Structure 1
Amino acid sequence: MAPRRLLLVGEGNFSFAAALSETLNASTRVTATCLQSPAELARDPVARENLQRLRERGTEVRFGVDCTQLADAFEPHHREFDRIYFNFPHCGRKAGVAKNRELLAKFFQRGFLEAPSCHPIKTINEKLIAELGKAFPLKRLKCSFPLLPERSTSVLTSWNCDSLSAAFWISLCEDNSNSESLTDGTTQDMEDFLVLFSEFSLKDPGRDSREEAHEGIYGQTKVCLRPSLLAHAQTVIQAPDFLPGSLHVLSGPVFQKCPILPFTMPAFHETLFILGFNKNLRDDYFQSLLDHLKGTLDSLLTQTLLEGSKLSRSVEFIFQSNEKDYIIKVKSHNFGSDCAKDLIIGSVTTSATSIIHKDQCFMFVSMNLDLLAMLVWGISDWRMLWTFDHRFLKNFVPGKIEPFKSYSLYPPCYVHDISFWLDEKKEFDELEFHTVARAVSQDTVISIQFLSRFQHPKTQQVSLCYRLTYQTCDKALTQHQVGSMQSQFRKEIQQRLHVIPR
């Protein structure tokens, strides 16, 4: 059996590493890292003693390691570890909760789009950018924006963020005295962000968006994980180095609540193209970008077709009711009749002349890279894009697009039904029902089917029944595991959705 490799990050004074090293056998290899430099730790007598103990045991110690940039600290052939430990993650004693949560988000974020990656999402992103770069001057932006944006902007239109209920909201429970440190801004900044966000989203079916936003301020402060990179568009165009006529490119992960379906995903990678131009040239720039975008997408979607095959995927720009924006749809018949429907892979948004740039208009193109990669390679399950299974990445050569060969052994499915009584005083949120199922099952629920609605003839109480199907894409679940998740799901919906399981 190969020796185990353990990685410790954010070690501080190395107390945990020193204690752990005394309990491990000789076949376990430990690499302990910290953010500080040797000179900084030399002033700490406890750290000096722990480092001496580690060196005596032959433990590898590395300094100046940023836990959010681990790929930069290790060569590709040294990046495989059996366990990674991060004890008490924080940015410092004076750091607020928001900064610490941002640290954790960056730590867990997998670098699909980073330089060493050979992931298909990176390949499709690079090809998309390169092709559009042949028609427009490019300016690539580093996605250093926070996952919890402080402000929103008018380009967050209804079809980019359907409603407040479609965003992952996070409640910050700290008292008001610490509100400034939570957001790196003032309480008024947070209120402005929430009000702006509600103004440019569809109203929640159950409540007024503005009312909910203010409740978040005066009850518990709430922020949301960004549902789109459009949340950062205003910051980009207000930057002093913004260049009209150039295509500004921003790529990164975004998050949204969604029903459990084969081609909808709660987290995916988005690329945002931002083009500013003189308002007198609007028609020329607009049509040019649309033409090049359609040509690029059509080319990408045909690269894995076999010779002599007919095109089964076509790109369409669907004009919206506001008569200035589009959604980008692809008709695909590659995944069977059940999935032969229009899939929305992106959007095109235009803005009117802004106060800051009185003579300019702006165009924003948002692309769902995960969905585009699935269509190009014929990957039928979005979960495969996030798998740790080495067999998946072995299918891909950096920079090339070749047909994907599935390695799945079709692991078994488990079907469980669940029925529950509704609370007469509360509206049932089916999207939240899907979200809870996704979280409890760790994305192993692949289908939720509504079976029936029953109303008791005497009490008039309403009961709903759903069927859940469990299956993974890269390993086999056991019946015991599924039973445990189903039991936990019953408890969670009772607490979070106020229903009574039958």
Structure 2
Amino acid sequence: MSPRRLLLVGEGNFSFAVALNQTLDPSTSLTATCLQRPADLARDPVAQENLQRLREQGTEIRFGVDCTQLAAAFELQDREFDRIYFNFPHCGRKAGVAKNRELLAKFFQSCADVLAEEGEVHVALCKGQGGTPADKPMREWHNSWQVVAMAALGGFILSDVHPFSCEAVPGYKCTGYRSQDKSFHIEGALNHIFTRSLAFEDLQPRISRIKLGDQWFSFPEPEVLVGKLNRGFLETTSCHPVKTINEQLIGELGKAFPLKRLKCPSPLLPQGGTSVLTFSNCDILSSAFWISLCEDNSNSESLTGETIQDTEDFLASFSELSLPKCPRRDSEEAANEEMHDQAKICLRPSLLVHVQVVIQAPDFLPGSLHILSGPVFQKCHISPFTMPAFHETLFILGFNKTLKDDCLQSLLDHLNGILNSLLTQTLLEGSRSVEFIFEPNGKDYMVNVKSHNFGSICIKDLIVGSITTSATSIIHKDLCFVCVSVNLDLLAMLVWGISDWRMLWTFDNRFLKNFAPGKIEPFKSYSLYPPYYVHDISFWLDEKKSFDEVEFHTVARAVSQDTVISIQFLSRFQHPKTEQVSLCYRLTYQTCDKALTQQQVASMQSQLRKEIQQRLHVTPR
């Protein structure tokens, strides 16, 4: 491994450089810089003594280095620093918070040019300046330096923060701007550690091509689900927490019941397909993503390797499905029109759509738990605990009707014990307990977790699954069936204390480094206190078309790349003369794993206005 390279900027009397140098490994190189020229420090005996010690130790010293233009101070081959320190930055004299924010913003943008890919930027700030909850007390946002928002302008996220300890660097004496005699008050100061964020990418929906019978069709993946298909979280080689929690759940239930693991069918369902759930009181398909297929006669060899691979992975078993046959028409044109009308598929909103296929199978084994696990996709309102894509595991148990009460109670008892055991493996604040709540029909249950403190969010109840007892089979008429559906993503969030569902879908490799095989420890986020931005939007409704609020949330998810975390209805206004109706909503933008800037949010908000006008037929005000 090459020696670590450290860069110090904004040094005053160079006492920090001397103190830090004493703690470093010999293989670590240190470059200390300041804005002043040598002549500016000539009359400072402390600075002169420290400079002499640094020279004797072989430390590189550079004068006249502007921390907002670091690329100009170093040749290309001299960059790639592993760590950059900036202690108590300040514009000097009575500069206000706006000027100091500007200094930070330019500094972070400059750091991006000279920092190694996995490097860190350390910024020490006086008590309250940063404007994060780590400050005690925390200043109002507008009165702080907004350090996380300024860092975002350079593509950085706050990954750690801790008290600034002078004891850790004995001999360090903080000085004021340009080595003025008056030093900063560092009691309660904090050291903020920033790392690079993954960049926002303009991900485009992929086009998939499938064959049904002798006919080829193509379709784009839903824009809101870009980056959420074919992720393989449940594959054998995966170490993702949803895989871990699924295996533990299955393993513990396997101690009480014989298991039969089934290969999960394709997540694509044809319109009118026979695999759709037939429970009389179930309306799960109303939340499905419906996709129209386009007839495609292009040469399959012209597709890119990536598209072909994606299609094969995602639609491995789709060839076994078929679209409903069209009624015979007299004219070929009419037949083609009918085929076009019916050539639709949907992404399954729940594994429950496969229940009938499982229990009608000739090899169905009464008394055994039949298990399906896979991703599902639902349109839903934006909230901290609702997600358009998640992983579900489904347990199906069939037993003789005469044993219904005993078998059902046994399954409920084991499930309750296993879930409670999983939820108490981490030492998190707040109590958690599982309870089964009757649905209005008096037969089925919701699996409810009571939790008082969940990360930074307080919740009273969280539904992590369902228990259905209303399935029947025309083949096994003497059997009763129980179907247990568990949302693995929500369960993993509770077990590890992951307060944001979007973190489960991040492409940042740092996420998986939190999870060691065989261990369950509280999750530590590498992105702390991300800034949030609030924008309002209002629009006139089209009198001739109904307004779908779920679709509005779905469009907002897609346009913002899942950065909208809240949509709050504010008001409804009806014009007294035209009687036209206007709605107003408040949108809150925030990321969990990326640097998000006010400029990016403004662009997203502008694009959202265009998209809702086109897709929802409303007129933005």
**TM-score, normalising length: structure 1:** 0.70
Per the TM alignment, residue 89 of structure 1 is displaced from its structure 2 partner at its CA by 5.8
Paired position in structure 1 for 2:255:
134
Per the TM alignment, residue 377 of structure 1 is displaced from its structure 2 partner at its CA by 1.0
Counterparts of 1:101 and 1:337, CA distance in 2: 34
The residue type equivalent to 1:287 in the other structure is Q
Paired position in structure 1 for 2:96:
none
Per the TM alignment, residue 305 of structure 1 is displaced from its structure 2 partner at its CA by 2.2
Paired position in structure 1 for 2:603:
484
Paired position in structure 2 for 1:185:
322
Paired position in structure 2 for 1:151:
274
Paired position in structure 2 for 1:53:
none
Counterparts of 2:474 and 2:499, CA distance in 1: 45
Of 199, 216, 232 in structure 2, the residue corresponding to residue 96 of structure 1 is: 216
Moved more, 384-393 or 452-461: 452-461
Moved more, 89-98 or 256-265: 89-98
Paired position in structure 2 for 1:261:
383
CA gap 1:494/1:353 in 2 versus in 1, 3 angstroms: closer
The residue type equivalent to 1:283 in the other structure is D
Identity %: 74
Alignment gaps of 5+ in structure 1: 1-82, 176-180, 191-214
Q: Which has the larger radius of gyration?
A: 2
> 3-state SS of the aligned residue for 2:519?
coil
Of 242, 245, 250 in structure 2, the residue corresponding to residue 124 of structure 1 is: 245
Counterparts of 2:537 and 2:205, CA distance in 1: 38
CA gap 1:426/1:372 in 2 versus in 1, 3 angstroms: same
Matches within 5 A, 1:161-180: 161=284, 164=286, 166-174=287-295
Per the TM alignment, residue 96 of structure 1 is displaced from its structure 2 partner at its CA by 2.7
Paired position in structure 2 for 1:292:
414
How large is the Cα RMSD of the aligned pairs? 3.4
Counterparts of 1:375 and 1:312, CA distance in 2: 11
1:424 and 2:546 are equivalent in the alignment: no
Paired position in structure 2 for 1:251:
373
Counterparts of 2:473 and 2:523, CA distance in 1: 45
Counterparts of 2:211 and 2:439, CA distance in 1: 48
Per the TM alignment, residue 160 of structure 1 is displaced from its structure 2 partner at its CA by 6.6
Q: Contact between 2:456 and 2:499, CA under 8 Å: does it hold in 1?
A: no
Moved more, 355-364 or 478-487: 478-487
The residue type equivalent to 2:524 in the other structure is K
Q: Size of the alignment, in residue pairs?
A: 386
The residue type equivalent to 1:236 in the other structure is V
Per the TM alignment, residue 87 of structure 1 is displaced from its structure 2 partner at its CA by 9.8
> 3-state SS of the aligned residue for 2:510?
helix
- Deviation string, structure 1 residues 223-253 (Cα, Å, up to 9, x no partner): 2210111111111122222211100111000
Paired position in structure 1 for 2:392:
270
Counterparts of 1:313 and 1:437, CA distance in 2: 33
1:231 and 2:322 are equivalent in the alignment: no
> 3-state SS of the aligned residue for 2:373?
strand
The residue type equivalent to 1:484 in the other structure is S
Of 382, 389, 408 in structure 1, the residue corresponding to residue 527 of structure 2 is: 408
CA gap 1:410/1:500 in 2 versus in 1, 3 angstroms: same
Per the TM alignment, residue 360 of structure 1 is displaced from its structure 2 partner at its CA by 1.1
Q: Contact between 2:368 and 2:398, CA under 8 Å: does it hold in 1?
A: yes
Q: Contact between 2:532 and 2:589, CA under 8 Å: does it hold in 1?
A: yes
The residue type equivalent to 2:566 in the other structure is S
Of 331, 344, 353 in structure 2, the residue corresponding to residue 222 of structure 1 is: 344
Of 323, 328, 345 in structure 1, the residue corresponding to residue 442 of structure 2 is: 323
Of 442, 445, 451 in structure 2, the residue corresponding to residue 332 of structure 1 is: 451
Counterparts of 1:415 and 1:440, CA distance in 2: 16
- Deviation string, structure 1 residues 28-50 (Cα, Å, up to 9, x no partner): xxxxxxxxxxxxxxxxxxxxxxx
Paired position in structure 2 for 1:65:
none
> 3-state SS of the aligned residue for 1:410?
coil
Structure ranking higher in helix proportion: 1
Per the TM alignment, residue 392 of structure 1 is displaced from its structure 2 partner at its CA by 1.1
Q: Contact between 1:173 and 1:220, CA under 8 Å: does it hold in 2?
A: no
Q: Contact between 2:219 and 2:291, CA under 8 Å: does it hold in 1?
A: no
- Deviation string, structure 1 residues 394-429 (Cα, Å, up to 9, x no partner): 111123211111221322222211110111222211
Moved more, 143-152 or 314-323: 143-152
The residue type equivalent to 2:525 in the other structure is S
Per the TM alignment, residue 97 of structure 1 is displaced from its structure 2 partner at its CA by 2.0
Per the TM alignment, residue 352 of structure 1 is displaced from its structure 2 partner at its CA by 5.3
- Deviation string, structure 1 residues 41-87 (Cα, Å, up to 9, x no partner): xxxxxxxxxxxxxxxxxxxxxxxxxxxxxxxxxxxxxxxxxx99999
Per the TM alignment, residue 340 of structure 1 is displaced from its structure 2 partner at its CA by 1.4
Paired position in structure 2 for 1:114:
235
**TM-score, normalising length: structure 2:** 0.57
Which stretches of structure 1, 4 residues or more, deviate above 3 A after TM superposition?
Answer: 83-95, 98-102, 104-108, 152-160, 181-184, 215-221, 336-339
Paired position in structure 1 for 2:425:
303
Counterparts of 1:491 and 1:477, CA distance in 2: 21
Counterparts of 1:416 and 1:98, CA distance in 2: 37
CA gap 1:238/1:327 in 2 versus in 1, 3 angstroms: same
Of 356, 365, 368 in structure 1, the residue corresponding to residue 475 of structure 2 is: 356
CA gap 1:186/1:482 in 2 versus in 1, 3 angstroms: closer
Per the TM alignment, residue 431 of structure 1 is displaced from its structure 2 partner at its CA by 0.8
